[in-house]
Amino acid sequence: MFDLAAVEAGIAETEFAGRVMHLPSVGSTNALALEAAQTGAGGGVWVADEQTAGRGRGGHGWHSAVGDGLYVSALVTPPMAAATALKISLATGLAAQAAIAEVTGLTVDIRWPNDLLLNGRKCGGILVETAVAPAQGEARARLRYAVIGVGINLNHAAFPTELEALATSLLIAGGRAVSREAVLAALLRALDKEIRLLVRGEHRTDDGPDLLERFERASSWVRGKRVRVEEGGSYTGVTSGLDVQGFLQVDGDDGVRRTVLSGGVREL
């Protein structure tokens, strides 16, 4: 049984309060959030016990065992420029990292831009889908909405054979079962904080460490990691930080610095 009241109690001070909808089974929580956004909704959270058509970036599927994971999507409409879409994904990674640490004490790594790793294996992923209001006159293009999908393997005791070497769960890594409600409430609190920081940073009303600096500290993948990048014909090199928009830079073995645009970064 999913305790929605416990989640609501844990997010009472956030923009998500009173907006969480729980469903036993859906095709995709992101699809539900997108439908709501396209009909004019300004916010909401959809969490499911099971997804039958869960998906990640690049059209990849997501293993969504019934009741064992957190499968959630949040619709947000922050007043931000369209160019900040990638930063929402990075901010969500930081929020998920903080939530997992708060509830379990485990420290996850973040593989740019959207994978959560424990002991080198994937325990979670992020899919952010956005829509943009085009520029008009002197006004810049603005973000209309962002749908933030997060999947975290919580209490999976095992995975299908084809995923065993690639995936893990908080149960496997930490040795004890994890409350779905506790992780969800912690995630939404952290995400609410991160979105507020993004808005304040864009409007220059926050003078703390910026998102990119914090992400670099939180991820071992941003600098000094030997990687293969599966784009532009595939190449290898060493990661060398983020650009001003949050895209990963890689110093190629051929001496050329490249900007990674679509992910597909794997350790060598």
Q: Where in the chain is the domain with CATH 2.30.30.100?
A: 221-267
Structure-block tokens of residue 25:
């089974």
Q: Which H or E element spans position 148?
A: strand 142-153
CATH class of 221-267: mainly beta
Q: Which residue has the tokens 């903080």?
A: 98
**What is the per-residue pLDDT for 136?**
82
Level-2 CATH architecture, domain 4-212: 2-Layer Sandwich (3.30)
**What is the per-residue pLDDT for 118?**
97
> Hey, how many other C-beta atoms are within 10 angstroms of the C-beta on 208?
9
SS (H, E, C) 13-26: CCCCCCCEEEEEEE
**What is the per-residue pLDDT for 28?**
94
Q: Where in the chain is the domain with CATH 3.30.930.10?
A: 4-212
In order along its 268 residues, the chain shows pLDDT tens digits of 899 999 999 999 999 999 999 999 999 999 999 999 999 999 999 999 998 876 555 444 555 667 789 999 999 999 988 877 899 999 999 999 999 999 999 999 999 999 999 999 999 999 999 999 888 887 788 999 999 999 999 999 988 888 888 999 999 999 999 999 999 999 999 999 999 999 988 776 665 678 999 999 999 999 999 999 998 889 999 999 999 999 999 999 999 999 999 878 999 9
| Contact assessment for residue 25 and residue 52, using Cβ atoms and an 8 Å cutoff | yes
**What is the per-residue pLDDT for 164?**
84
| Contact assessment for residue 95 and residue 187, using Cβ atoms and an 8 Å cutoff | yes
Q: What is the dihedral of CA 184, 215, 63, 144, to 10 degrees?
A: 70
